[in-house]
Amino acid sequence: MNILEVPALLLLLVGSGFVLSEVRWFRRTPLATRLAPYRPAGAPTQASGNALRAMLLPIAESAGNRLSSALGVKEGLAIRLARAGRSESATEFRMRQFSRALLALLAALAAVFMTSPPLLFVLVMLIGAPLLAALAPEHRLDTEISHRRQAIEAELPVVTEQLGILLGAGYSLPAALNRLALRSSGAMAKELLAVVQDIRRGSGEIQALLNWATAVDLPSLDGLVSVLALHQDASDLGALISEEAKSIRSDAHRTTIESIERRSQLVWIPVTVATLVPGLILLAVPFTAAMSQVTGA
């Protein structure tokens, strides 16, 4: 037996047991997991009773945190999951990321033993396959955060104007937020519904809005929340919100114009290349002929 087959076999057995423990039809779902959708937000989750999962959890969290730090991510995973709008915990994300990296490593080991490639290719497969499998969830999470921010930023001017109209008509701030959450659709409706639910759970109105702004991390939303925080002191909050809506809309318009200008500049890159390449070819012909006459070739 080859010296590499023993650790590979052990790794295959451990990985197979770990993967099968994550399959729904292979094991019974713990009671804490089944009751997780009904627990209050922020309540601590109970650890699973799976011994293998409890053993691999610190390894998965440590490896995932080091990978995120190597990529330049300075924020915690829980904050990033909240910004992406996901309901899963950081532990579930790290375990799923670790299981995919382990599966990729097992697949790479199987491919190595079946094909017997060169040593350099073996190292690339054994290192690159689990690394790519671990990086894929991180990239998908960043993409979801970016899309969510774009959706909120696109809907924010309209929602701000509607909120100003409702407050000017005599609605209180919680009532206006609740009406917009129930009567509207899109990304902002979900965000406002989460704020209303946070207020109903006992959080103050200002604190719920500040938590929302911290989770989204959008400059235009920070400005709106700072204006809404004055609802107990300002007598005409509707006018202030209307001015804030104009500012948000002008910022969105400026961002759109900048995006259009960048796209128009990118159009000229293939046009320039398509123009220069034939010109260089035409200039190369007489240059080659002149060089041959000088060298006497």
66: left (phi over 0), alpha (psi -120 to 50) or beta: alpha
Are 56 and 95 a contacting pair, CB within 8 Å?
Answer: yes
Model confidence at 47, pLDDT cuts 50, 70, 90, reads: very low
From CA 3, how far away is CA 186, in angstroms rounded?
A: 57
Query: How confident is the model at residue 54, as a pLDDT?
Result: 67
User: pTM of the predicted model, to two decimals?
Assistant: 0.61
Token representation of residue 132: 């790519």
Q: What confidence tens digit (pLDDT) does each residue in 148-187 have? A: 888 888 888 888 888 888 887 888 888 888 888 888 777 8
- Which residue in the block uniquely carries the two structure tokens 């023993």? 6
Model confidence at 21, pLDDT cuts 50, 70, 90, reads: low
**What angle in degrees, to the nearest 10, is found between the helix axes of 219-228 and 237-295?**
170
pLDDT exceeds cutoff 60 at 197? yes
Q: What confidence tens digit (pLDDT) does each residue in 75-111 have? A: 778 888 887 877 778 888 888 888 888 888 888 888 8
Query: How confident is the model at residue 33, as a pLDDT?
Result: 65
Q: What confidence tens digit (pLDDT) does each residue in 242-264 have? A: 777 777 777 777 777 877 777 77
